[in-house]
């Protein structure tokens, strides 16, 4: 049987190893596994969200409200935009997929950072598009603007804060890049970790409402990180109505489950939980910076809920990751991104203790 | 901003009206609305599933196990196939999308019944494929085989039982069509309502394991109907490993939420709930046949959990649907399918009483 030729080029996304896998492969008890690999919220699920899920558990047989009226209304209020500016995806991932399918085709070009979220290129390859990357993993206008002028890419991805590196791009630098875009270029500002950057330094805060003054910009946000809904798959896009309408054409019906909708509405209105998550993060992040300094390796200044440790020659990140895994601590090895580095979610104080203990053993 | 030209042809799927919409538009109290439009399970959510959801409510922050090991294992046992034969989708809808994207492109052809599940054509149009339809809504080999020989479509859809008509195709007739397929034609047997057909008459039961003897067949099933998980979006495809591997390339990571995975595993092991649902359906369906006969209109013999009433000239199905809606009863008007007909989910005894009362008023 023949399949479309684009399939030949497709790599499958490598997800963070789930706890179940470590339990199965290494025989470690589930409660002993520490997962710091997928940037899940270490505070867990907000109690208000869990209560909402329990209250809706017996409605699992009913299809969701496909208009997503309530969630859009809640998001519109939070961001001071209109409902026609909003699209909801099964994670912001799914909106990336809509972007690729609405804008890209064989022969079109996408521009992104050298090291950035893997799904940008995976979805672009599914459309047969050509991928252009900057030399630096940081999003610098000195690199982006000339490449945009030369190649006129259909889509530009600005991931700020950037994943899996953790750095962020200042607001004025983001605007500089957006303003250099061709009218036919869609500039996607992926703010999946924006809550952490905004909390750390207001100069890095991108306000989706502010982006609406540009006709060709799409902002992406998610409930998976600061809002603690990684398992529920809910993200959102904010843009001018013309862009939202085009993306809506690619949206499959019922793309958000009934419980995910209910959970996201509850999460969106639980600002206290987000503040608590940010406060915990502010308290724990410096421990990771200190550990790296004390052990003679480098790290990237983090504007996210994770930190990227960069190892010197002679210390192999994959081996460190493997050593941690055997001790029941799951982190993300970045060698497939061409970096001798680990991406580690900043966890609870106890989880971080466990990570440092395991690291001590692995480093020997 | 320019978008891909395929977008011009895309129609958006019209979902059944959710209860929330009727509440908003007609000011009817939610508990007074009877929704018989989306073929949801009238018994609701299985108590075992609801309990599983409640038990997992505080894990909403954790990404799902993207290998879906447990659910695949459970399905493999139920269907007597291997895990490598299984792909899980966000509803079987999503697997239809994978099929379109893996097989279809501009200039390729898809063959389907004149009246069948709307997403087949929507996903095909997204790929720019040409849609061929039989003259009959029934899947007859006399029509399918010559059209397959003449047009060599990349994909053939056999929806049995068929939605939104409710009829089904006998097993031997399905095999006759499959056996006439070109080696490069993927024959998709969509069994979303198969549990109801198999319960009514074993001659209509298609066993996915049996289909594995054909190299180019994909069986689709869902948890949305007999298993009572319409809101959770979980479906599955069963085929030979070559086909599954190709479709897996189109699967976005984490396409099933953590709670949907847990719910589907619990549902898959709750055969008693399915039996109870089928028993209720066997008891209530004859009331719909009798009502139609008593009021002088036609119906299609149903192998599903809904019935399709066909009205004579002079009685407009859209007007009847509108009259029911104003009385808080939601059904599906099939006029957009070119049929002067209503598709009505067979509900609980009380829901069906409400429907018949409202119909009495509307018919006047």
Domains assigned to chain B: 5-45+272-363 (3.90.1150.10), 47-270 (3.40.640.10)
How much is the pLDDT for A9?
A: 79
Hey, of A30, A38, A61, which one would you mutate to test binding to chain B, going by the most B CBs within 10 A of its CB?
A61
B87 in contact with chain A, both atoms CB, cutoff 8 A: no
Query: Computed from CA positions of residues A53, A58, A63, A66, in that sequence, does the dihedral angle turn out positive or negative?
Result: negative
Residue B90 to chain A, least CA–CA distance (Å): 8
Contact between B15 and A255 using a beta-carbon 8 Å cutoff: no
Q: Which residue has the tokens 């500002």?
A: A189
| B16 interaction partners in chain A (CB closer than 8 Å) | 63
Interface test with B, best of A60, A93, A125 (most B CBs within 10 A): A60
- Residues in Cβ contact with A364 at an 8 Å cutoff, skipping those fewer than 6 apart: none
SS3 B70: helix
A7 → closest Cβ in B60, B93, B249: B249
The answer to whether the CB atoms of B38 and A249 lie below 8 A apart is no
Residue B171 touches partner A, C-beta closer than 8 Å: no
**Interface contact flag, A216 B1, Cβ < 8 Å:** yes
**8 Å CB contact between B343 and B308:** yes
State whether residue A109 sits within 8 Å of chain B by CB. no
Interfacial A residues in 135-154 facing B (CB < 8 Å): none
With a cut of 80, say whether residue A278 has pLDDT above it: yes
pLDDT (average), residues B166-178: 98
Residues 6+ apart with CB under 8 A from B119: A252, A253, B13, B93, B96, B97
- The whole model's pTM is what? 0.95
Interface check A65 vs B, CB under 8 A: yes
The C-alpha of A218 sits at a distance from chain B's nearest C-alpha, in angstroms, of 12
**N-terminal to C-terminal alpha carbon distance within chain A:** 52
Largest separation between any pair of C-alpha atoms in chain B: 57
Tell me how many degrees the CA angle B74-B79-B84 measures, rounded to the nearest 5: 70
The pLDDT of residue B17: 66
Phi, psi of A33 (to 5 degrees): -85, 135
3-state secondary structure of B327: coil
Q: How many CB atoms lie within 10 A of CB A311?
A: 20
What are the two backbone dihedrals, phi and then psi, of residue B86, each rounded to the nearest 5 degrees? -120, 135
Asked if the model's pLDDT at residue B16 lies above 70, the reply is no
DSSP alpha helix (H) spans, chain A: 19-26, 47-56, 69-79, 91-103, 118-126, 141-151, 171-179, 194-200, 208-211, 241-248, 258-268, 271-294, 317-326, 349-363
Tell me: the pLDDT tens digits for B93-113?
A: 999 999 999 999 999 999 999
pLDDT digits (tens, 9 = 90+) for B256-301: 999 999 999 999 999 999 999 999 999 999 999 999 999 999 999 9
- Listed by number, the residues of chain A in 221-240 with a beta carbon closer than 8 Å to a beta carbon of chain B are 224, 228-233
B35–A contact, CB cutoff 8 A: yes
The band of B5, judged by pLDDT with boundaries at 50, 70 and 90, is confident
**Helix runs in B152-226, H state only:** 171-179, 194-200, 208-211
* Cβ-Cβ contacts under 8 Å, A228 against chain B: 60-61
B12 close contact with A: CB closer than 8 A: yes
Mean pLDDT, chain A, whole residue set: 95
Q: Angle between the A69-79 and B19-26 helix axes, to the nearest 10 degrees?
A: 70
The DSSP-derived string for A153-181 is -SEEEEESS-TTT-----HHHHHHHHHTS
Mean pLDDT of chain B: 95
The reported pLDDT for the residue numbered B26 is 85
Q: Which residues of A touch B119 (CB under 8 A)?
A: 252-253
Phi, psi (rounded to 5 degrees) for A225: -110, -95
Q: Is A67–B21 a contact, with Cβ atoms under 8 angstroms apart?
A: yes
Query: How long is chain B?
Result: 364
Q: Which of B15, B63, B154 to mutate to test the interface with A (most CBs of A within 10 A)?
A: B63
The CA distance from B318 to B300, in Å, is 18
pLDDT at A13: 65
Kindly list the residues from chain A whose CB atom is less than 8 angstroms away from the CB atom of residue B249: 7, 10, 12
Query: What pLDDT, in 10s, does the model give residues A208-229?
Result: 999 999 999 999 999 999 999 9
- Tell whether A107 is within 8 A of chain B (Cβ): no
A25 lies within 8 A of chain B by CB: no
Query: How, if at all, do strands A86-89 and A217-222 pair?
Result: unpaired
List, edge to edge, every strand of the sheet that includes B341-345.
B298-300, B306-310, B341-345, B332-333
Question: Can you tell me the ipTM of this complex?
Answer: 0.95
Please list every residue in chain A whose beta carbon sits closer than 8 Å to the beta carbon of residue B245.
Answer: none
Two structure tokens written together for A303:
């504007």
CB contact at 8 A, A289 and A299? yes
Interval A326-360: pLDDT, tens: 999 999 999 999 999 999 999 999 999 999 999 99
């Amino acid at each position: 049987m023949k399949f479309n030729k684009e399939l030949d080029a497709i790599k499958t996304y490598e997800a963070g190893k789930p706890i179940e896998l470590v339990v199965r492969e290494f025989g470690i008890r589930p409660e002993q596994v520490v997962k710091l690999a997928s940037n899940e919220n270490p505070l867990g699920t907000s109690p208000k969200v869990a209560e909402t899920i329990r209250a809706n558990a017996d409605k699992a047989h009913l299809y969701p409200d496909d208009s997503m009226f309530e969630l859009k209304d809640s998001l519109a209020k939070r961001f001071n935009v209109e409902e026609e500016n909003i699209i909801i995806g099964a994670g912001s991932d799914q909106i990336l997929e809509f972007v690729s399918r609405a804008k890209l085709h064989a022969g079109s070009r996408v521009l992104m950072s050298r090291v950035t979220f893997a799904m940008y290129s995976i979805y672009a390859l599914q459309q047969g598009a050509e991928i252009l990357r900057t030399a630096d993993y940081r999003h610098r206008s000195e690199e982006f603007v000339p490449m945009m002028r030369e190649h006129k890419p259909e889509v530009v991805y600005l991931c700020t804060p950037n994943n899996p590196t953790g750095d962020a791009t200042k607001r004025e630098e983001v605007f500089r890049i957006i303003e250099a875009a061709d009218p036919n270029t869609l500039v996607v500002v992926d703010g999946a970790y924006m809550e952490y950057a905004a909390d750390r330094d207001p100069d890095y805060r991108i306000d989706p409402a502010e982006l609406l003054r540009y006709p060709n910009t799409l902002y992406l946000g998610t409930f998976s990180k600061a809002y603690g809904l990684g398992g529920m798959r809910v993200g959102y896009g904010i843009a001018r109505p013309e862009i939202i309408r085009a993306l809506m054409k690619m949206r499959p019906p019922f793309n958000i489950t009934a419980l995910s909708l209910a959970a996201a509405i509850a999460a969106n209105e639980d600002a206290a939980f987000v503040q608590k998550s940010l406060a915990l993060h502010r308290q724990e992040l410096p421990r990771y910076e200190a550990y790296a300094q004390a052990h003679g390796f480098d790290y990237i200044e983090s504007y996210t809920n994770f930190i990227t440790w960069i190892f010197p020659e002679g210390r192999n990140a994959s081996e460190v990751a493997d050593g941690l895994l055997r001790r029941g601590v799951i982190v993300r090895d970045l060698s497939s991104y061409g970096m001798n580095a680990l991406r580690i979610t900043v966890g609870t104080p106890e989880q971080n203790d466990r990570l440092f203990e395991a690291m001590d053993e692995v480093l020997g």
